[in-house]
């Protein structure tokens, strides 16, 4: 502070002498700026100015020159200072003021005129070499006391030889420029600091917003999110991941996703993680099964990506177990619909082909020899067995047929086993079926009951898949008013902690490609609907035994249907004079058989047509005692023909019989049920034809043939 006060005081003194020394100041300023003033707009920094450019003059005097001659030189040169040299080296600074003081006093000239020049030198001259830094030189030159402030500064080279004298005015102007540059630099630094502070504030604000957005997206994400290292260890995760993995509060510490992946998939999981580090590919997606303790095995969808900046893997995880189960269920529904359509069409065509085989065989039996009748019997038996297989296929394609009835449990088990012969043979399982000699009769839906048996057997086959000697036991019995079915195997068994969950929907210990966890839950539901119950007993590695219990029927027996004897020539109602029958059937062979059966068996005259449109034209002209129509026909189907016929001839409503190999879609079946029209299912025997058509012919008196 003292230096600054002294500096500004000296600046005021310089300003007072500005007019007197204006020429010198202009010259000094020109020397200070040098050629750079002509090279604008480039401005050199003050600190880079060479000291030689500040020199005002380089005049010097011998240090022993008499003051009289020195005084003359000062008068001639109009200079205030001369450098004093001896043997080429600078020894001091001679001042005009000091010479004038010594020679101007009374007797001064007489006393001092012959004195050497060094007697008039200043007391404390400033001598700097050309290598002296600018700032120290300015500090010393401008920091001198007032009487010494105006003295020139001597500049010498490294050999202490004179380079020149620098006036203090030039140094003062240089200091002013230096201060200005420093103030400008300070302003620039302040502006830069302000701008940097603003940018830092904006960056911090953006960082806080990004962090808030990250936390919001991270924690509120609907999927589980985890940051993994290359070994699969979870370094950070959101709350949803904990919920998906079913981890409790005590399990929220560090853990590894790789350890939860099913053993057979761990190699693929770790390989997926390593692939990210090597090539940093686009987002990878894959599904893995995780073992989650009490929750069992769950299927998860992984979307992973490599974070290059942190060297981590971001994994987004979704539980797809239920979704995949629903998708497989929908696929099964589509396959079931396709199966229904395919099986229905096959059943219809096969039954159409079997009907004339069975019917014509029985007609041949009426005229065949004893040996021929035996052959016909074999044919009829084979046809009936084929028809039974077709019925089982229809039950398989549409198991929920609906109405409960009396069922022999042992017989139904045999039918279910027959449907699974291929699976049993492929599994190479030793099957043992046990049943009492008397029927075990329950009142249940046979289609649903057969589905239950098949589900339990298939489940047992899966459990014994890896056994060296797989065994399966099916035992039917009665106990305490219950019909019981035991399905026991020597498979892998069930762990005690899983026994209470095996009937839960979607619960399974098998992989997604082997089961959905619906078989046992569906079986449990169906058994409950039948008023029964199902239990299981098992130990790990010791097999399992499922026991189905159903209430016994009041009459613990199944009455077999009476087998009709082959018709004789005299059998059949209302033979001759015959009645007129309208037959609508698109299959030519079936149409020929029905014509012959109605003629030979019931003594009727038959008008046979191939489509419903032609049948309507016949019905409009003639009166018939009976109309027989196929259900599935090209063009107009059977129910539509029935509706239009009733509109045309209402009296035909009670003289109608449907025949079909398979009704087909559900809408046709519902329509047939609403009409209350008798239905003959193909293939049918001549006896069954007489049983259905005979009462209708007997009840009507119309359509009798004339002579």
Count of Cβ atoms closer than 10 Å to residue 519 Cβ: 18
Residue indicated by tokens 């302040």? 190
Of 287, 319, 351, the position where a domain reaches its end is: 319
Which pair of structure tokens corresponds to residue 384?
Answer: 């009936």
Residues 526, 424 share a domain: yes
Give the range of the structural domain holding residue 615, as residue numbers without chain letter.
580-699
Q: Report the run of H or E that residue 460 belongs to, with start and end.
A: helix 446-463
Phi, psi of 545 (to 5 degrees): -135, 115
Residues 606, 539 share a domain: no
Write out 619-682 in H/E/C secondary structure.
HHHCCCCEEEEECCCCCCCHHHHHHHHHHHCHHHHHCEEEEECCCCCHHHHHHHHHHCCCEEEC
Q: What is the pLDDT of residue 628?
A: 93
Residues 109, 20 share a domain: yes
Nearest to 176 by CA among 300, 379, 15: 15
Residues 72, 154 share a domain: yes
Q: What is the pLDDT of residue 251?
A: 60
Instruction: Let me know if residue 9 belongs to a domain.
Output: yes
28, 174 contact by CB (below 8 A)? no
Residues 234, 128 share a domain: no
Q: How far from chain centre, in Å, is Cα 91?
A: 93
Instruction: Let me know if residue 387 belongs to a domain.
Output: no
Residues 591, 500 share a domain: no
Tell me the sheet residues that pair with 535: 547
Residue ranges in 287-320 assigned as alpha helix (H): none
Instruction: Let me know if residue 137 belongs to a domain.
Output: yes
State the Cα–Cα distance between residues 294 and 350, nearest whole angstrom: 51
Count of Cβ atoms closer than 10 Å to residue 199 Cβ: 10
Residues 157, 101 share a domain: yes
Residues 132, 70 share a domain: yes
Positions in the chain whose pLDDT score sits under 70:
1-47, 248-253, 279-284, 332-333, 335-340, 343, 391-403, 497, 499-501, 503-519, 521, 554-578, 663-674, 701-707
Instruction: Let me know if residue 363 belongs to a domain.
Output: no
In 149-296, DSSP assigns E strands to 153-156, 162-166, 224-228, 234-237, 284-291
CATH number for the domain including 225? 3.30.450.20
Which residues are CB-neighbours of 233 under 8 A, at least 6 positions away? 254, 255, 256, 257, 258
Which pair of structure tokens corresponds to residue 206?
Answer: 């953006």
Indicate the DSSP class of residue 119: G
Nearest to 581 by CA among 613, 619, 630, 617: 619
CATH number for the domain including 486? 3.30.565.10
Instruction: Let me know if residue 207 belongs to a domain.
Output: no
State the Cα–Cα distance between residues 520 and 446, nearest whole angstrom: 18
Q: How many domains does the chain have?
A: 4
Residues 11, 53 share a domain: yes
DSSP string, 62-112: ETT-BHHHHHHHHHHHT-SEEEEEETTEEEEEEEHHHHHHHHHSTTHHHHH
416, 457 contact by CB (below 8 A)? yes
Q: What is the pLDDT of residue 13?
A: 46
Instruction: Let me know if residue 337 belongs to a domain.
Output: no
CATH number for the domain including 135? 3.10.580.10
580, 622 contact by CB (below 8 A)? yes
Instruction: Let me know if residue 349 belongs to a domain.
Output: no
Give the chain's radius of gyration (CA, Å).
60
State the Cα–Cα distance between residues 631 and 577, nearest whole angstrom: 30
Residues 234, 170 share a domain: no
Nearest to 168 by CA among 191, 146, 199: 146
Residues 652, 520 share a domain: no
Residues 590, 538 share a domain: no
Q: What is the pLDDT of residue 424?
A: 83
- The CA dihedral of 646, 648, 651, 655, to the nearest 10 degrees, is -60
Instruction: Let me know if residue 345 belongs to a domain.
Output: no
Of 156, 182, 208, the position where a domain reaches its end is: 182
Q: What is the pLDDT of residue 656?
A: 92
């Amino acid at each position: 502070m003292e230096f600054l006060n002294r500096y500004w005081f000296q600046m005021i003194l310089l300003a007072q002498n500005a007019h007197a020394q204006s020429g010198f100041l202009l010259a000094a300023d020109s020397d200070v700026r040098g050629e750079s003033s002509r090279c604008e707009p480039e401005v050199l920094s003050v600190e880079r100015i060479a000291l030689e450019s500040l020199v005002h003059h380089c005049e010097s005097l011998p240090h022993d020159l008499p003051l009289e001659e020195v005084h003359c030189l000062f008068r001639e040169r109009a200079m205030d200072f001369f450098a004093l040299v001896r043997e080429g080296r600078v020894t001091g600074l001679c001042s005009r003021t000091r010479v004038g003081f010594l020679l101007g006093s009374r007797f001064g000239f007489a006393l001092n005129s012959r004195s050497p020049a060094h007697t008039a030198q200043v007391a404390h001259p400033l001598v700097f070499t050309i290598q002296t830094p600018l700032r120290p030189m300015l500090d010393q030159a401008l920091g001198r006391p007032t009487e010494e402030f105006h003295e020139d500064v001597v500049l010498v080279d490294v050999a202490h030889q004179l380079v020149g004298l620098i006036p203090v005015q030039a140094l003062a102007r240089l200091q002013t420029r230096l201060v200005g540059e420093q103030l400008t630099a300070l302003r620039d630094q302040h502006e830069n600091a302000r701008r940097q502070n603003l940018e830092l504030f904006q960056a911090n604000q953006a960082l806080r917003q990004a962090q808030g957005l990250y936390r919001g997206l991270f924690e509120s994400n609907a999927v589980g999110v985890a940051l993994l290292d290359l070994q699969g260890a979870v370094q950070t995760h959101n709350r949803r991941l904990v919920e998906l993995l079913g981890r409790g509060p005590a399990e929220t510490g560090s853990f590894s996703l790789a350890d939860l992946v099913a053993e057979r998939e761990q190699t693929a999981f770790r390989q997926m993680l390593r692939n990210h580090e090597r090539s940093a590919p686009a987002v990878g997606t894959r599904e893995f099964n995780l073992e989650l303790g009490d929750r069992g095995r769950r299927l998860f969808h992984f979307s992973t990506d490599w974070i290059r900046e942190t060297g981590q893997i971001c994994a987004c995880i979704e539980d797809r177990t239920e979704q995949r189960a629903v998708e497989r269920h929908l696929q099964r529904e589509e396959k079931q619909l396709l199966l229904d359509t395919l099986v229905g069409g096959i059943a219809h065509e096969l039954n159409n082909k079997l009907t004339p085989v069975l019917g014509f065989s029985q007609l041949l039996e009426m005229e065949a020899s004893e040996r021929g009748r035996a052959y016909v019997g074999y044919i009829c038996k084979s046809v009936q067995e084929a028809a039974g297989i077709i019925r089982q296929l229809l039950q398989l394609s549409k198991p929920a047929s609906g109405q409960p009835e009396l069922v022999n449990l042992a017989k139904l088990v045999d039918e279910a086993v027959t449907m699974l012969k291929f699976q049993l043979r492929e599994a190479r399982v030793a099957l043992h079926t046990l049943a009492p000699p008397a029927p075990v009769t329950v009142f249940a839906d046979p289609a649903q009951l057969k589905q239950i048996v098949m589900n339990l057997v298939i489940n047992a086959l899966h459990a014994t898949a890896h056994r060296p000697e797989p065994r399966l036991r099916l035992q039917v019995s009665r106990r305490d008013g219950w019909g019981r079915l035991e399905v026991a195997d020597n498979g892998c068994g069930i762990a005690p902690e899983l026994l209470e969950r095996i009937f839960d929907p979607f619960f399974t210990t098998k992989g997604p490609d082997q089961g959905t966890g619906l078989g046992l839950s569906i079986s449990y539901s169906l058994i409950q609907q039948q008023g029964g119950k199902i239990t299981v007993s098992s130990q790990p590695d010791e097999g399992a035994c499922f026991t189905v219990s159903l209430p016994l029927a009041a009459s613990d027996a199944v009455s077999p249907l009476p087998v009709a004897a082959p018709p004789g020539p005299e059998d059949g109602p209302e033979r001759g004079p015959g009645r007129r029958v309208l037959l609508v059937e698109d299959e030519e062979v079936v149409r020929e058989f029905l014509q012959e059966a109605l003629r030979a068996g019931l003594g009727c005259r038959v008008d046979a047509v191939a489509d419903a449109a032609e049948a309507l034209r016949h019905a409009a002209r003639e009166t018939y005692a009976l109309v027989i129509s196929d259900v599935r026909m090209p063009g107009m189907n059977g129910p539509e023909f029935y509706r239009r016929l009733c509109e045309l001839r209402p009296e035909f409503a009670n003289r109608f019989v449907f025949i079909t190999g398979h009704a087909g879609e559900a809408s046709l079946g519902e329509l047939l049920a609403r009409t209350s029209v008798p239905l003959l299912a193909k293939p049918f025997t001549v006896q069954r034809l007489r049983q259905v058509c005979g009462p209708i012919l007997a009840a009507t008196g119309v359509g009798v043939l004339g002579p």
